[in-house]
Amino acid sequence: METEHTQPEHKGIKKGLYLIPTAFTAANIAMGFFAVLYSIRGFRATIENAELANSYFNYAAIAIGFAILFDTLDGRIARLTKTATEIGVQFDSLADVLTFGIAPIALMYSWGIASVFPEGSKELGLGVFLLFMYLMCGAFRLARFNIQATRPRVLLEGTPKVDKKNFVGLPIPPAAGLLAAIVHYANPPLSSYGETGHYLAVLLMVLIALLGVLMVSTVRYSSMKTVGSGRKNLYLVLVVAGVGMLMWLYSQYVLLILALAYVSHGIIWYLFTLLTRKRITPEKSETV
């Protein structure tokens, strides 16, 4: 009597699927690594070769942009292939600290703050402090997200429940994306703008502080996780193709508009909800 040798089907393929999200996360880390290196080289070239410095800063901004793409794809691929793991979640968060925390700080320091304010000045010290707080807020934002993702329930009284359609607080990739989009829009360092560069550097520090506050706030942002699912969203392919073509032709403008739109839509929705609640409350009190 012959015996059939049964083996688990597609065991090797299944193991290989787990490597795909990890590969995209590794690419995310690589982009953050290159963004830091290009920021350092750009800061050094500011004195020696201005045109070369502009290219380095632009390369650093583009690297952060590609990192956002890889960071988006690794999560979607893990969900589609059902290969999401605990170590993958932690690995992705550590990658985000580098790529969307340290890399934008190096870029903002080299391109904006250190290129304008002299060494030892109070303005430079304030800028370094705000960059550090941006990093701390981003790390706290990632830690809070991991806790909410692994323990989807109310941890303390008043803590918002996990909503898969929305993020609580501004995610760190769009925050870094806005900073990178600004550099991609205007490659020359702020020191090249003369006296105007000082005012632009102050506005930059205000923006960095605002992004840090938004990351640790309870303002809700759309997660975009449901976008692209279902037959009704087949037209999304055309929209993505159109936006992709616009990015190719007018990347400096399109990327900045998209980044500003995402960061501001949470604030607008929060203010709209706040005003709506204030209008409803008096009406209820009058009818009682």
DSSP character string of 205-249: HHHHHHHHHHHHS--EEE--TTTT-SGGGTTHHHHHHHHHHHHHH
Instruction: Please indicate whether residue 287 or residue 138 has the higher confidence score (pLDDT).
Output: 138
Range with the largest mean pLDDT of 68-77, 78-87, 221-230, 274-283: 68-77
Least confident range from 127-136, 223-232, 236-245, 266-275: namely 223-232
209 by Cβ neighbours in 10 Å (0-12 / 13-18 / 19+) ranks as: middle
| Residue 282 in this model has a pLDDT that exceeds 60 | no
To the nearest 10°, the Cα dihedral for 29, 260, 44, 124?
Answer: -110
Contact (Cβ atoms closer than 8 angstroms) between residue 215 and residue 168: no
pLDDT tier at 154, thresholds 50, 70, 90: very low
Gap between the Cα atoms of 134 and 127, Å rounded = 11
pTM of the model: 0.83
Within 10 angstroms of residue 114's Cβ, the number of other Cβ atoms is 20
Instruction: Classify domain 13-226 by CATH architecture.
Output: Up-down Bundle (1.20)
| Residue 99 in this model has a pLDDT that exceeds 90 | yes
Contact (Cβ atoms closer than 8 angstroms) between residue 89 and residue 143: no
- Residue 249 corresponds to which tokens in the numbers above? 């032709």
| Residue 82 in this model has a pLDDT that exceeds 80 | no
Gap between the Cα atoms of 127 and 201, Å rounded = 9
Amino acid at site 100: F
- Residue 275 corresponds to which tokens in the numbers above? 């005003």
